[in-house]
Structure formats: structure tokens, C-alpha cells
Amino acid sequence: MKLTVLGCSGGIGSGRHTTCLMVDDDVLIDAGSGLTTLEFAQLARIDHVFLTHAHLDHVLGLPLLLDSVGDRRGTPVTVHALPAVLDTLSDHLFNWKLWPDFRTIPSSDAPWLRFAALDFGVAVTLAGRTFRPLPANHVVPACALHVSTAAGGLVFSGDTTHSLALIDALNAIPDLRHLLIETSFENALVDVAKASKHHWPESLAAELAALTVRPRVWITHLKPGNEAAIMNELHAAVPEWGVAALVQGQVIELG
């Protein structure tokens, strides 16, 4: 399994794109502006999208994906997300006001889009790759995602702040090889981080101290212009972990 980072920034500008990760060539995790970096033929191969939550920086590419390649496909794109996230997409995105409801285009019997609810404790397996939602703690309903193969697993935190439930879930994955986890603000902006339920270096340091597993740790969702400050504070707080910033275009392979 190959995971390609299409976007991993907490914002846009100067070549930055928001969160979108591609698993092999047919599955996306989140659909931020990183999705727009794909070629047309690559867009048409996307069969499944797993969403961590419904915030715009994680879903903005989804309606454009459907509009671009829906007529080139023989099957609908399936969006997997928590029920509350799917409700938000129905009410506020695919509502015929902000965007057409592609669950009924060109017809309800042959749509370009379908929803599939994710449930905690239930995994979805696609061609030998298993996707499992894990708890997260954000200002809207959200989940992390555990992606596993026979060669091991990785976890993408999505947007989250301190979550004891997520720590427990990570510690229960003995073959966890990679942890992609957000840190959005430097320590000086702790009040903003707390209000928006994002990590800052001191909070992530506490999270890592509670882990009994030892994955490679990659930092995502760094706010534009703050990247160097955040990473410097992380390196000072957890030098033993060797954390590194996730980079657009990076490839992580499992097996």
C-alpha cells in the first residue's frame, strides 16, 4: 500500500494545499485543496473518499471531483464518514443551494455520489486495505483513521486536540508504523488552539508521552507562516521522537 500526500497544510498560499491523502490510486482520505493537484485521469480513478470531518479545508475538493469526472465513471464515488458528517454534507453542501446533490444526478438509481456511514468499531476493507475510524476530539464530529494492511498500519489523526480515547486506540495497535498527527499552532497561540480544538507543541508532547507504541511521527496541518516556529518548538519538546513535518508529494509505503 502506498499513501501519497496531496495536501497537508493548515491553509493555502505559496504552494500550500489543504488536507488530502491518496491511498494507492483509488482512495482518498479527506478531500481538501490537495485534490486539485491530481491529473484528470487520476481523478477519474478515485472510487472511495474517507472523511475525518466536514470542515471546508477537508472537503472543498469533493464537489469539484464529482462535477469533473462523474460522467466518466460507471459507478458512483462512495463517501465514507461518520453519520453526523454525512448529515452536514447533506444539509450544507449537497443541498441544491451551495452545490447540486449528486446522489440524485443523473438519477437516484444511477447517481455519481453515494454516502456510506462509518461506525466506531466497524472496519471497511477494500482490496486488502482496512480503514477503521478512531476517536478524535474536535469542535465538530470527527474521527481519526487507522489504515492497515498485512504489512502494518498507519493512523491519520485528522483534526484533534487531546483525546484519551485516541491515545488508548493507538496503544492498542501493536504494528503501528506511522502516526500522522496534527499540530496547528505554536505555544504562544495556545488560547486559539484550545478554542478551536487543535494541538500545539506542548499538548502534542503530552500526547506522545502517553504512547506505549513507537511509530514514526509525522506532523500535519501546520498553519501557513507558522511552520518553522511550530516544528522548532516540537523538536525542543520531544527531541527523542524525531518528529518531522509531513510534506506535499511525500510517499509513505506499507509493504
Confidence check: pLDDT of 13 > 90: yes
Q: What's the mean pLDDT in 156-169?
A: 98
Residue 10 has a pLDDT of 98
Contacts of 213 (CB under 8 A, 6+ apart): 170, 171, 173, 174, 176
218 pLDDT band, cuts 50/70/90, is very high
Confidence check: pLDDT of 255 > 90: no
Tally of domains in the chain = 1
Report strand pairing: 143-149 vs 251-253: unpaired
Q: What's the mean pLDDT in 7-21?
A: 97
Catalytic residue among 25, 47, 57, 119: 57
Residue 208 has a pLDDT of 98
DSSP 171: H
CATH number of the domain residue 54 falls in: 3.60.15.10
pTM summary value:
0.98
Confidence check: pLDDT of 99 > 90: yes
41 pLDDT band, cuts 50/70/90, is very high
Show the cell assigned to 163: 483525546
The per-residue pLDDT of the chain, averaged, comes to 97
128 pLDDT band, cuts 50/70/90, is very high
47 belongs to the catalytic site = no
Residue 131 has a pLDDT of 98
143 pLDDT band, cuts 50/70/90, is very high
196 pLDDT band, cuts 50/70/90, is very high
Residue 169 has a pLDDT of 98
State yes or no: cis peptide before 106, omega within 30 of 0.
Answer: yes
Q: Using an 8 Å Cβ cutoff, are 146 and 163 in contact? A: no
Give the structural domain span for 225: 2-253
Q: What's the mean pLDDT in 229-247?
A: 98
- Report residue 231 CA to chain centroid gap: 20
Show the cell assigned to 224: 501557513
